[in-house]
Amino acid sequence: MMGPISPLAALLVLALGVGFAPSFTAAPALETQMTVNTDCTTLFDFTRAADRDAWREQNDTVMGGNSRGRIERTDNGLVFAGDLVTRDGGFVQMQARLPDGALTGMTGLRLVASGDGRPWRVRITTDTRVARTALQGRDDAAIGQSGVELDGPRVAFAAPVRNLGQGNPASATVSMADPAPSVRGRPVPEAVWDASRARSLGFILSDGRDAPFRLVVRRIEVCRGA
């Protein structure tokens, strides 16, 4: 079970999704070739330099946290490793911007990856927003209205990475059938997941444990249909 994160960490979630705008390039356009016997297409193949270069780490240090994480770009994939520190922060993330419509129609992701036994999640930021005034009040209160016409921070949708083993990278999956929407760590239960509005894709760890972490990702595929 994921442990609680500090208020500062919750603010960093907002910064990663809305207020913090790192200078990295969008991913290359989707390949049109379908994977054999599946309805999945390759979004990122990290044996390609252009795909590796699209990703950046986002640690809680940008708002006073103490976690350390670095991306190592190798010919065999991305290695995201370091130390998660809960004091004054509590999570690490690597992410990339997406071309418009990159995830349209998606029902999930298929990965070739390996982890460290910790509960990694995929986090997709969209252009759906909440009202700026909705952030007033209790930090744990749910936020109601959301929509692309509003003026507040963007809504992010998170889902766990399933079957993420350790050791050599192998198949893992992410279902977007019921992703959890949130802003600043606050739930937005009425927000509707619309894959066509995805603007960035990331992997986030925030399990409340002070410990080293390591995630290796070799390929990310977008799956559509049943």
Give 158-170 pLDDT, tens digit per residue: 999 999 999 999 9
Tell me the β-bridge partners of 215.
80
**In this structure, is residue 37 part of a structural domain?**
yes
State the CATH number of the domain containing residue 208: 2.60.120.430
Q: What is the rounded distance in angstroms from the CA atom of residue 55 to the CA atom of residue 89? A: 21
Q: What is the rounded distance in angstroms from the CA atom of residue 183 to the CA atom of residue 125? A: 10
CA dihedral 47, 156, 140, 14 (to 10 degrees): 80
**In this structure, is residue 80 part of a structural domain?**
yes
**In this structure, is residue 1 part of a structural domain?**
no
**In this structure, is residue 184 part of a structural domain?**
yes
**In this structure, is residue 220 part of a structural domain?**
yes
The band of 30, judged by pLDDT with boundaries at 50, 70 and 90, is very low
Q: What is the pLDDT of residue 27?
A: 53
Tokens of 35: 């994977």
**In this structure, is residue 142 part of a structural domain?**
yes
Is the pLDDT at 15 greater than 70, yes or no? Answer: no
**In this structure, is residue 2 part of a structural domain?**
no
pTM of the model: 0.82
Domain that holds residue 140: 7-224
Q: What is the pLDDT of residue 146?
A: 86
**In this structure, is residue 186 part of a structural domain?**
yes
Q: What is the pLDDT of residue 154?
A: 92
Domain count, the chain: 1
Got the DSSP string for 80-102?
Answer: EEEEE-TTTT--EEEEEE--TTT
